Amino acid sequence: MLEDPELQADFRMIAFDMPWCGRSMPPRGHRSEQFEMTVDLYFGIIREFVKALGLYKPALIGCSLEGV
C-alpha cells in the first residue's frame, strides 16, 4: 500500500513499527513484565504517534492486531 501510486498522489505516506514489531525497541519494563498488545494500548500508541507528528485527520490503513 505504501508504494501505491494512486494513494501516494493524494496522501503523505508514513510507516511506523509498533512496540516489539519490526525494528522498534521493546517497551520499557519488557524484561520484568509480560508485554501484551491490547486494543487500548494499540490505539494509545497510534494517538501518540499522530499527536507527536501533528497530523490532522490522518487516514490509517494496513494495520493489524494479528487476531487480538
Give the Cα separation of 9 and 43 in Å (integer): 27
Query: With bands split at pLDDT 50, 70 and 90, how would you rate the model's confidence at 54?
Result: very high
pTM, 2 dp:
0.66
Q: How many other CB atoms are there within 10 angstroms of residue 37's CB atom?
A: 16
- pLDDT tens-digit series, residues 7-45: 899 998 888 777 777 677 776 766 776 767 788 888 898
**One-letter identity of residue 64:** S
- CA angle 25/52/9 to nearest 5° reads 100
Give the Cα separation of 59 and 35 in Å (integer): 27
* Residues in CB range of 8: below 8 A, 6 or more apart: none
